[in-house]
Chains A and B, each alone.
Chain A
Amino acid sequence: GAGVSQSPRYKVAKRGQDVALRCDPISGHVSLFWYQQALGQGPEFLTYFQNEAQLDKSGLPSDRFSAERTGGSVSTLTIQRTQQEDSAVYLCASSPGRFQETQYFGPGTRLLVL
């Protein structure tokens, strides 16, 4: 079956531009996570959704970052007024249940802010 997909795979943005990153989780998965992975580092938690509800957004670095999940399926991470320090790989993961350690990751979106 299809895994987690993310689009675009690569995005180059000029500083100050807004960007929207999309995640299509595995069909039927309840939980959805967003992570930010800087070069040479492990993923860092950004936010968590259970179905449509955003239950934890404590990892979002600033109010320029926001996320939504429509219909309990597709999710969009939006970064407004991008800064150079936002350059990173943004990973999306989904899992079948509410309390489930098996997260299935997408390939990520590599964002470069110039």
Chain B
Amino acid sequence: GQQLNQSPQSMFIQEGEDVSMNCTSSSIFNTWLWYKQEPGEGPVLLIALYKAGELTSNGRLTAQFGITRKDSFLNISASIPSDVGIYFCAGPDIKYNFNKFYFGSGTKLNVKP
């Protein structure tokens, strides 16, 4: 299957700092998705990107769809303690439309108050 590589694996930051994480793929994706997962819960969709070069914001979150269509970035500005969690990138297999998704291994974010 597809390989999605996320970096960094984990981050320890101070409240108020900006955060940047990225995701690269071995294959082209037509859609990039960013999820957040908190302990004991399922992932929750944060942002969806549909077009190469697209930049989308959702509050303090900004995500970009890379021009090569093989990468995506997620930035969080002015982090707060409730940003703690694991952030996953994901994308659908283009052969299956939105019926088969691949997830990265996640970036674990820790925010110190």
- Point out residues on A near B: beta carbons under 8 Å: 4, 31, 33, 35, 40-45, 48, 50, 55-56, 58-59, 91, 93, 95, 98-103, 105-108
Contacting residues, chain B, for A55 (C-beta < 8 A): 99
Contacting residues, chain B, for A100 (C-beta < 8 A): 98
Contacting residues, chain A, for B98 (C-beta < 8 A): 95, 99-101
**CA A56 to CA B92, docked complex, whole Å:** 13
A-B residue pair count with CB separations less than 8 angstroms: 62
Contacting residues, chain A, for B4 (C-beta < 8 A): 42
A44–B103 touching, CB < 8 Å: yes
Supply 18 further A-B pairs (C-beta < 8 A) apart from A43-B43, A95-B98, A107-B41: A4-B42, A31-B99, A40-B106, A41-B105, A42-B90, A42-B105, A43-B103, A45-B101, A48-B99, A55-B99, A56-B99, A59-B100, A91-B42, A100-B98, A101-B33, A105-B42, A107-B42, A108-B42
Interface residues of A, dominant DSSP: loop
**CA A111 to CA B108, docked complex, whole Å:** 22
A105–B44 touching, CB < 8 Å: yes
B44-64, CB < 8 A from A: 44-45, 48
Contacting residues, chain B, for A91 (C-beta < 8 A): 42-43
Also in contact, A56 and B43, with CB within 8 A (given A41-B105, A101-B48): no
Minimal beta-carbon separation of A76 from chain B (angstroms): 18
Contacting residues, chain B, for A59 (C-beta < 8 A): 100
B106–A42 touching, CB < 8 Å: yes
Interface 0/1 of B16-42, CB less than 8 Å to A: 000000000000000101000000111
Contacting residues, chain B, for A101 (C-beta < 8 A): 31, 33, 45, 48, 92, 98
